[in-house]
């Protein structure tokens, strides 16, 4: 699944997905022939749910979330 579709499914901006990927919180599973990052939908959505929970409910920082993932 490409970043745009993943962002739509999780109701975030594509830039959020880019940020999480750059920070090492979310891992791309590969690239398309056109160079787009591809994500496993189930794994990516589960990771995004965890990040959302830890950020919004537990108020953890990106650094703290990195340690948990």
Residues 6+ apart with CB under 8 A from 61: none
The pLDDT tens digits of the residues spanning 14-69 come to 999 999 999 999 999 999 999 999 999 999 999 999 999 999 999 999 999 999 99
Q: What is the pTM of this model?
A: 0.86
The pLDDT tens digits of the residues spanning 21-36 come to 999 999 999 999 999 9
Q: In this predicted structure, what is the pLDDT of residue 24? A: 94
Q: In this predicted structure, what is the pLDDT of residue 17? A: 95
Give the domains, in start order, of the chain with CATH numbers: 3-68 (1.10.1660.10)
> Strand runs (DSSP E) across the chain, as ranges?
30-31, 37-38
């Amino acid at each position: 699944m490409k970043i745009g579709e993943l962002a739509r499914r999780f109701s975030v901006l594509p830039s959020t997905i880019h940020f999480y990927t750059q920070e090492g919180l979310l891992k791309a599973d590969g690239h398309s022939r056109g160079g787009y990052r591809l994500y496993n939908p189930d794994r990516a959505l589960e990771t995004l749910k965890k990040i959302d929970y830890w950020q919004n409910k537990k108020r953890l920082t990106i650094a703290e979330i990195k340690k948990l993932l």
